[in-house]
Homo-oligomer: A and B are copies of this chain.
Amino acid sequence: MNGDLAAIDCDIAVRFVETDMMGVVHHSNYLVWFEAARVAWMDAAGMPYGELAAGGNHFAVTAVEVEYRTPARFGDIVRVRVGVSQMRSRQVSFVYTVRNAGDGTLLGTGSTEHICVDLSGRMAKIPQAAVERLGVGMARLTQRNRELSASGG
């Protein structure tokens, strides 16, 4: 995932309740981790999701894709790298890579697509103030990632 996606890493400790009788994490939890990483991304971008919601808008999920490579296990810390693959006036898409934070093993990848909705659930433009804050935040994250990359980070 390159810096142009304004990506961040979000570490999550696997919860016991997230496992199933196969002894590994149930696949549905990747969507929950994606969401937690998305929320952390919005914090990092300077546009906390709670503020967007308080203003009467939500990013409703319209599509998800996940590919599972290696099972996650209780005791693992998973590192979700989340970035923005597309942002339009009414839509935003995120991409995700999930790795074991300890040894870097690739656990899975995925993407989610969202539309901005208002309180009645109808598609709406992302509010202009949010667009501006997200633009500034994404530019800052991209710049940070390029510097990290240039310094071998």
Seen from chain A, the residues whose Cβ lies within 8 Å of a Cβ on chain B are 13, 15-17, 19-24, 26-28, 31-32, 35-36, 39, 48-50, 53, 58, 60-68, 71, 74-75, 121
Contacts and interface: CB of A to CB of B under 8 A. Distances in A.
Contacts of A22: 58, 60, 121
B19 A61 contact: no
Contact of A17 (B16, B28, B62): B28
A27 B16 contact: no
A interface majority secondary structure: mixed
Contact of A26 (B17, B39, B68): B17
A13 to B, nearest CB: 7
Nearest to A64: B66
Contacts of A49: 16, 74-75
A74 B53 contact: yes
Which of A27, A36, A48, A49 has the most chain B CB within a 10 Å cutoff? A27
